[in-house]
Amino acid sequence: MVITRQATHPAPNWRLVGPWYRWAHPALPADGRVSRPTIQKFAGDDFIKDFLARPQHSLKYDEVIDVVNSYQLAEAGSFAARVLCLLPLTATGKPAPKYEADGTTISKAAVYRARLAPTSLRKLYQPAHDRHYLVTCELHCDEPGFPRVARQQVCQAGFVVRRRISRRPDGLSAESVTEQAKAAQTMAADLRELLSLDDAGARDAQDSVGLSARELQQQQALRANALRQQALLVALEHQPSWPALLADKRRQLEAERERLQQWYDEHGVRVDIEGWFPTLQDGKTSRVYGEWRRLDSPAKIFADVAAGEQSYPLFAIVPDPREAQHDAAGRTLYYGTVPTGGVQHDANGVARFDDLMTYEIRCFVRQHHPCPPRIGKTPDCHGPLVWSLPSEAFRVAAPFDVLGAANRPITIKMPDLRELAAQAATRPRGKLSPVRFVQPQHLSPKVKDSAVDGGEMGGEAICSFSIPLITIIALFVLSLFLPIVVFIFNLWFLLVFRFCIPPQIKVAAGLDAALAVTPPKVDLDADFSVKVDGVDTLIDTDDLHAALTTGSDSLKTRIKSDVGIDQDPAIDDLSNNNLGPIDQTLQDNAERLPASDGTLPPPPPVGTPLVYEDPVTPVWPATGGAKRS
């Protein structure tokens, strides 16, 4: 009888590696021996059920969204300062003043702009962002054929999450380390801008479903200009094609990152590893309190986890024996849920996981010891441990990360004042006020002529409020202070993060089509033409800027109406590239009006599309190297 080959060698010959479908050559032993546990990404609350059915079916990592992004300051010349600076900055990264002390305009040469610079560090989002992660690994015996180890030989499987702390020698300044990283940061920022242009066509094709003829014409103009920019960049870079240009930029970036790592090694920049040790309270392990401790020697790094370091369980994937093509058929695969948050913190109140520290995962398995087992204990023996290589390093996204929070939109329905009035007339006073505030000192403001006119501090008081009342006042305060903050600090680009349905605004069709083309897909400060109703219309940059900033239907008037301010916004010195996104946001608002029957339009798309890993097939059979039972 031919059976799957299983190892019976002692644990020192075991090797805990990544899953076969994430090896460079799927299931090829030579690649598996040097692989690391893999962190797979999922969406949806039922991801474990789907994972157990198809372990390799997980989401792809995006090289811009799923990595930690820093920002890089790029110097802006006189032209670029007007074209590209949504937020003009100084060389130190602070907002650049518009005028000198004597009132003269500051030279544009002193202006810098911030742009995203993706790093090579993985970024894990939180469950609140509708992203979940599993660490997966596979157990083999390190002998010819790389046979699997039977699950029955393992009495414990788990993993630990450890923290990486970068250290530099005393004689090496932080500025010199930062200076060395600038070249890689610049290359990453350049590649990111190229990738955003490369994705323009794909995003437009995806968003074309259900568009009107006019909107499709706008997208055709957008696509034509995007292709024009691609062709121009390819010509300037002396590359035969756009994919070749992107591939060359990736190679340059990878080479620079390797050079930077070599420089770190030569100058003694090292990484210390720390483990999380929960605090003992009354002889029991606390689920809340703990501390990070440095593991300053290999003996501690690979010590028995029973020494007090917190660990998490790994679970075996046991496929249905009738599914011969299952990803785990004939293999010993394990998985565990990666923690990305929680309530744990140290004695100073610092959370265990935050978005500033770097972490890694190490998996382990324990071999069954021939001694009698400890009944009801985990592990049930004191057999030897086998550790995996560390996973790729990662950081955890902040709870209110812009990209992460967009994956799980939240709808808050404001109360209807008419309905509240009807409910208030039918209920006893106080019955609909479940939120109670107990105040040791009661602060009572005085209002006169619609303005605050002093106040007084009283004694203890208890006030009850209704949740709809709190919601109405909170949104009113937001609406009141939003235009003030935007106007005072000249942060008009923040309007892009706000989407409302205002009164309808009509503009010329040719101007609409021009303004639909927003950076970085096309440069609005270069003359271009669009086709509207079959007619080519040449859009002059000065005419476009004048149409945006002057007249009764100008962008100034619409911003004043939309935001609710009386003064004209200071946008005359902004370029078309700056004004385009703001105007397009207002256009989107105007075009999403309720239908004649009162039904609301569909909300705008948020988050990022789900893209899954391509399925792979093994190049080495799971039953290779059979033996007689």
- For 226-240, the pLDDT digits (tens) are 666 666 666 667 777
Q: 3-class secondary structure for 301-357?
A: HCCCHHHCCCCEECEECCCCCCCCCCCCCCCCEEEEECCCCCCCECCCCCECCCCCC
Task: Report yes or no: 508 and 214 within 8 Å, Cβ to Cβ.
Answer: no
Torsion over CA: 591, 597, 598, 599 (sign): negative
- For 488-506, the pLDDT digits (tens) are 777 767 776 776 654 433 3
Please report the pLDDT score of residue 522 as a whole number. 39
Percent of the chain with pLDDT over 70: 64
Percent of the chain with pLDDT over 90: 20
CA distances from 159 to 185, 296, 346, 361, 362 (A): 33, 19, 21, 7, 5
Q: Count of alpha carbons within 13 Å of 216, Cβ hemisphere only?
A: 8
DSSP secondary structure letters along 371-422: SPP-TT-SSSS-PPEEEPPP---EEE--TT-HHHHTTS----PPPPHHHHHH
Distance CA(148)–CA(171), nearest Å, equals: 49
Query: Which whole number is the average pLDDT over 209-214?
Result: 52
| Residue 379 structure tokens | 């592990």
Task: Report yes or no: 249 and 233 within 8 Å, Cβ to Cβ.
Answer: no
Please report the pLDDT score of residue 627 as a whole number. 32
Q: Which of 42, 45, 21 is nearest to 31 (CA)?
A: 21
Distance CA(400)–CA(129), nearest Å, equals: 9
Q: Is the peptide bond before 520 cis (omega within 30 degrees of 0)?
A: yes
The pTM for the full model equals 0.69
CA distances from 368 to 137, 307, 529, 532, 609 (A): 19, 19, 74, 74, 45
How far is C-alpha 313 from the chain's CA centre? 27
Residue 422 has pLDDT above 80, yes or no: no
Torsion over CA: 252, 257, 259, 260 (sign): positive
Residue 362 has pLDDT above 90, yes or no: yes
158: which strand partners? 313, 364
Residue 131 has pLDDT above 60, yes or no: yes
What angle (nearest 5°) sits at the alpha carbon of residue 547, between those of residues 543 and 549? 115
**530: pLDDT confidence band, cut at 50, 70 and 90?**
very low
Residue 605 has pLDDT above 70, yes or no: no
Which of 259 and 531 is assigned the larger pLDDT? Answer: 259
**539: pLDDT confidence band, cut at 50, 70 and 90?**
very low
Please report the pLDDT score of residue 610 as a whole number. 86
Residue 207 has pLDDT above 60, yes or no: no
Please report the pLDDT score of residue 135 as a whole number. 97
The chain-wide mean pLDDT, for the chain, equals 75
Task: Report yes or no: 260 and 177 within 8 Å, Cβ to Cβ.
Answer: no
- For 146-172, the pLDDT digits (tens) are 999 999 889 889 999 999 888 878 778
- Classified as helix, coil or strand, 39 is strand
Task: Give 538's contacts (C-beta < 8 A, 6+ positions apart).
Answer: 527, 528, 529
Please report the pLDDT score of residue 601 as a whole number. 54
Question: H helices within 199-327, ranges in order?
Answer: 200-206, 213-237, 242-266, 298-301
Lowest-confidence pick of 313-322, 485-494, 592-601: 592-601
Please report the pLDDT score of residue 160 as a whole number. 94
What angle (nearest 5°) sits at the alpha carbon of residue 128, between those of residues 123 and 131? 50
Which range has the top average pLDDT, 132-141, 143-152, 244-253? 132-141
Residue 543 has pLDDT above 70, yes or no: no
Distance CA(467)–CA(476), nearest Å, equals: 14
| Residue 75 structure tokens | 């110097």
Distance CA(492)–CA(288), nearest Å, equals: 43
Please report the pLDDT score of residue 145 as a whole number. 87
Please report the pLDDT score of residue 37 as a whole number. 96
CA distances from 629 to 1, 4, 5, 6, 626 (A): 7, 10, 10, 11, 9
- For 566-587, the pLDDT digits (tens) are 667 766 666 655 566 666 666 6
Please report the pLDDT score of residue 278 as a whole number. 93
Residue 622 has pLDDT above 50, yes or no: yes
Task: Report yes or no: 594 and 602 within 8 Å, Cβ to Cβ.
Answer: no
- Classified as helix, coil or strand, 496 is helix
Residue 325 has pLDDT above 50, yes or no: yes
Task: Report yes or no: 457 and 423 within 8 Å, Cβ to Cβ.
Answer: no
**183: pLDDT confidence band, cut at 50, 70 and 90?**
confident
What angle (nearest 5°) sits at the alpha carbon of residue 15, between those of residues 10 and 19? 140
CA distances from 31 to 28, 178, 617 (A): 6, 35, 15
Please report the pLDDT score of residue 137 as a whole number. 96
Lowest-confidence pick of 62-76, 380-394, 417-431, 526-540: 526-540
Instruction: For tokens 């949104």, name the residue.
Output: 475
Please report the pLDDT score of residue 130 as a whole number. 92
Please report the pLDDT score of residue 509 as a whole number. 37
Please report the pLDDT score of residue 483 as a whole number. 78
Query: Which whole number is the average pLDDT over 192-218?
Result: 56
Residue 351 has pLDDT above 50, yes or no: yes
Which range has the top average pLDDT, 328-342, 404-418, 506-520? 328-342
457: which strand partners? 443
Residue 10 has pLDDT above 50, yes or no: yes
Which range has the top average pLDDT, 91-95, 335-339, 447-451? 335-339
Give residue limits of the domains in the chain.
6-63+121-168+269-405, 174-268, 416-480
Tell me which DSSP letter residue 52 carries: H
Query: Which whole number is the average pLDDT over 438-461?
Result: 77
Task: Report yes or no: 279 and 308 within 8 Å, Cβ to Cβ.
Answer: no
Query: Which whole number is the average pLDDT over 47-71?
Result: 91
Residue 626 has pLDDT above 70, yes or no: no
- For 250-293, the pLDDT digits (tens) are 888 888 888 888 887 888 778 888 999 999 887 788 889 999 99
**436: pLDDT confidence band, cut at 50, 70 and 90?**
confident
| Residue 493 structure tokens | 């680009």
Distance CA(406)–CA(418), nearest Å, equals: 32
Instruction: For tokens 């009386």, name the residue.
Output: 566
| Residue 8 structure tokens | 């019976």
Please report the pLDDT score of residue 551 as a whole number. 65
